[in-house]
Amino acid sequence: MTEKGIHTDFRESMTYGEYLNLDKVLSSQERLSGHHDEMLFIIIHQVNELWMKLILHELETAIDSIQNDELPEAFKMLARVSKVQTQIIQAWDVLATLTPAEYMEFRDSLGRASGFQSYQNRLIEFALGYKQPQIIQIYEKDPKLSEALEKAYHAPGIYDVAIQALARTGFPINPELLKRDFSITYAGDPSVAAAWLEVYRDVDRYWDLYQLAEKLVDIEDSHQQWRFRHMKTVERIIGFKTGTGGSSGVSYLKSVLDHRFFPELWDVRTKI
């Protein structure tokens, strides 16, 4: 029985499917092998890329907000990033239902395509401050994409603008940091460590900066959980085989687990 008032005539109106472009979205899962489980593999990665698009959307605006001293606005965006991260972490549990034997049935169909080449993942890493110069070479095939990555590579990441916010508040931040080459991965500085220590020791006075710090820790914590689940899922499915894109696979994924985006925000926990 149809509920009264439900609109059923869409000859002159936009439908839900049209608004979401579902014809494009749902027709983009093309299995190259025809194997049943390739559908799972494609959908998981496409869904992750959609979530990454939202993460980037929020991070980029949060960076702008912090630069404009609009910290409360940034908090909302960063909190949303953390919630999205829970979705992409849990997605690995679904992909882990793919067994090694099932994956080998269609792995060759991928050619050299690999998640290692995810440009949105690279843009997220750039926004978090992790810059690797050799990575950009992967995307030279697409000039527009290469230009976008190059721009993000040289732009300040979210921790860079957080450090700038510390300086604007009056903390004696090393001036070299404020005009540094942002294409170089940040490695830490005593003046930043001292500033965050004061923030954590006087939370009431520096409430907004304290909140910003904790939001950043939330994001790094979740990103590392995502990295770990990625590594374990890959190990579970292909062991220590070389990745389809030529990377060392699990060995590479393990190597990045020790990297810290916001080092002083972790060190301060020992010092307070």
pLDDT band, very low/low/confident/very high, at 3 (cuts 50, 70, 90): confident
pLDDT digits (tens, 9 = 90+) for 99-149: 999 999 999 999 988 888 999 999 999 999 999 888 888 888 899 999 999
Structural domain includes residue 87: yes
Task: List residues forming the annotated binding site.
Answer: 41-45, 103, 107, 230, 244
Task: Please check whether residue 75 lies inside any domain of the structure.
Answer: yes
Domain assignment present for residue 97? The answer is yes
Q: Which pair of tokens denotes residue 178? A: 């404020």
- Domain boundaries, position 220: 35-107+129-270
> What's the pLDDT band for 21 if we cut at 50, 70, 90?
very high
Query: Given this model, what pLDDT does residue 128 score?
Result: 98
Which pLDDT belongs to residue 1? 52
pLDDT tens digit string along 139-186? 888 999 999 999 999 999 999 999 999 999 999 999 999 999 999 999
pLDDT at residue 2 tops 80: no
Binding residues for heme: 230
* Among 196, 227, 188, 216, residue whose Cα is nearest residue 127: 216
Report, as an integer, the average pLDDT of 255-265.
Answer: 93
pLDDT the model gives residue 53: 98
In a domain? residue 219: yes
Domain count within the chain: 1
Mean pLDDT of the chain: 94
Instruction: Give the pLDDT score at 244.
Output: 76
CATH number where 244 lies? 1.20.58.480
Whether 28 maps to a domain, the answer reads no
The answer to whether residue 93 sits within a structural domain is yes
For the annotated binding site for substrate, the residues are 41-45, 103, 107, 244
Structure confidence at residue 66 (pLDDT) = 98
* Closest alpha carbon to 240 in 229, 231, 249: 249
Q: What is the DSSP string of 111-142?
A: TT--GGG-HHHHHHHHHHT---GGGGGGGTT-
* pLDDT tens digits, 38-47: 999 999 999 9
pLDDT mean over 250-263: 91
pLDDT of residue 115: 86
C-alpha 1: how far from chain center: 45
Residue 118 lies in a domain: no
Classify residue 235 by burial, with Cβ atoms within 10 Å: 0-12, 13-18, 19+. middle
Model confidence at 222: pLDDT above 90: yes
